[in-house]
């Protein structure tokens, strides 16, 4: 069990559980067994809160569902902050783009209309930080340990420092995992992508990746993606399985191809004025709660994606394709030129430091 979980009262653990349940498929008993399996705990008693009215209220907006690595991390952060501050600091969570979506969450943060967001690293390019798109380079990372060498190393810190230029404070990174391709046909080789309109995040590296495969990139907000697939505005997309499953994309995509071609991760970012307004003690409390929640998120991100894949297999709504090593190599070769093509956008010094950090 993650250290963060140890100091949760039964009441706050119950609130975290209720927020974390995968509501899509499982019966109530299965849900509680699922979560007990997650945190390695026996079934939990209900308890009362006696919560006080918070003096400080942090508004945390994000675009995905609760049962995703990000949803779980943010809900745990909420419980830890409220628990450790004795209710003095409250955290209001707005998932599923309820409050702000991809198009406006960064601006809302800069204006102080919201206090915290956790966008994908692919979404910082459009606010003038193209160096973050280095995380989007296809087939860059062999595994999550390689990612951590960047996110938990000096390069990762330097990237977060750059957010100050935009009046934002970078607080930390966490994973979702590796992305898969989906469409209404198997995507096993570059020729399978030709002519497809593929939904992408607002990243020029990902757009170039799709063009290198002969597809047409279409930038759309995450919250619009499922509908755009249903209406045929786009033919396919890419995302880790936890996002694919929790958005119900299996109902509008007949084929999921396990390409593991790129990484999706997040950075937690605060409004700078809000951050400076907090006392030193409260900044430390919020930072520690976040580190604990992100540590937990990184521990369970992989299992969250595997559980979503299991649920997909059970549901039999989408055909799931595993690529042969030869097919994966063909894809890797087809998109390799993107690394060179986007070097100027990202910045050769960043890429130099990146390849040194990855030992490439």
Q: State which residue, 201 or 327, has the beta carbon closest to ligand LMR.
A: 201
CB of 111 to ligand LMR, least distance (A): 21
| DSSP string for 241-253 | HHHHHHTTGGGT-
CB of 60 to ligand LMR, least distance (A): 13
Burial of 244 (0-12, 13-18, 19+ CB in 10 A): buried
Q: Scanning residues 66 to 105, which ones bind ligand LMR (CB under 6 A)?
A: 70
Q: Scanning residues 234 to 263, which ones bind ligand LMR (CB under 6 A)?
A: 239, 243
CB of 200 to ligand LMR, least distance (A): 8
Q: Does 298 bind ligand LMR (CB under 6 A)?
A: no
Backbone phi, then psi, for 255, in 5-degree steps? -135, 130
Q: State which residue, 84 or 123, has the beta carbon closest to ligand LMR.
A: 123
Q: Does 222 bind ligand LMR (CB under 6 A)?
A: yes
The pair of three-digit structure tokens given for residue 155, joined into one six-digit string:
């390069």
Q: State which residue, 201 or 204, has the beta carbon closest to ligand LMR.
A: 201
What does the per-residue mask of binding to ligand LMR show for 145-184, with x meaning CB under 6 A? -------------------------------x--------
Residues 6+ apart with CB under 8 A from 64: 70, 71, 95, 96, 222, 243, 246
The pair of three-digit structure tokens given for residue 27, joined into one six-digit string:
């019966």
According to DSSP, residue 185 is labeled S
The pair of three-digit structure tokens given for residue 263, joined into one six-digit string:
């990484």
User: 81 with 58: CB under 8 angstroms?
Assistant: yes
* Total site size for ligand LMR, rule CB under 6 A: 9
Q: How far is CA 84 from the centre of its chain?
A: 25
CB of 118 to ligand LMR, least distance (A): 7
Residues of this chain that bind ligand LMR (CB under 6 A): 63-64, 70, 120, 176, 201, 222, 239, 243
């Amino acid at each position: 069990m993650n250290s963060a979980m140890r100091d949760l009262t039964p009441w706050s653990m119950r609130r975290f559980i209720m927020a974390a349940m995968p509501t899509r498929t499982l019966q109530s008993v299965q849900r509680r067994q699922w979560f007990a399996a997650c945190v390695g705990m026996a079934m939990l008693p209900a308890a009362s809160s006696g919560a006080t009215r918070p003096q400080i209220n942090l508004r945390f907006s994000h675009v995905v569902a609760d049962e995703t690595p990000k949803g779980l991390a943010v809900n745990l952060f909420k419980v830890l902050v409220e628990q450790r501050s004795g209710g003095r600091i409250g955290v209001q969570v707005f998932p599923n783009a309820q409050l702000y979506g991809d198009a406006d969450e960064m601006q809302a943060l800069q204006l102080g209309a919201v206090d915290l967001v956790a966008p994908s690293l692919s979404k910082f390019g459009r606010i003038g930080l193209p160096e973050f798109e280095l995380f989007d380079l296809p087939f860059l990372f062999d595994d999550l340990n390689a990612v951590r060498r960047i996110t938990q190393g000096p390069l990762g810190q330097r990237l977060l420092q750059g957010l100050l230029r935009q009046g934002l404070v970078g607080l930390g990174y966490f994973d979702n995992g590796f992305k898969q391709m989906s469409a209404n046909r198997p995507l096993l080789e570059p020729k399978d992508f030709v002519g497809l309109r593929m939904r992408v995040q607002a990243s020029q590296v990902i757009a170039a990746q799709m063009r290198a495969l002969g597809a047409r990139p279409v930038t759309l907000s995450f919250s619009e993606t499922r509908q755009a697939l249903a209406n045929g505005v786009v033919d396919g997309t890419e995302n880790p399985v936890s996002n694919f499953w929790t958005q119900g994309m299996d109902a509008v995509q007949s084929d999921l191809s396990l390409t593991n071609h790129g990484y999706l991760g997040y950075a937690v970012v605060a409004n700078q004025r809000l951050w400076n307004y907090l006392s030193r003690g409260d900044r430390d409390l919020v930072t520690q709660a976040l580190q604990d929640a992100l540590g937990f998120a990184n521990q369970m991100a992989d299992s969250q994606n595997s559980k979503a894949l299991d649920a997909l297999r059970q549901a039999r709504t989408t055909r799931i394709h595993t690529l042969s090593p030869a097919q994966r190599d063909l894809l890797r070769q087809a998109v390799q030129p993107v690394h060179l093509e986007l070097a100027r956008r990202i910045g050769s010094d960043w890429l130099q430091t990146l390849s040194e950090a990855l030992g490439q």
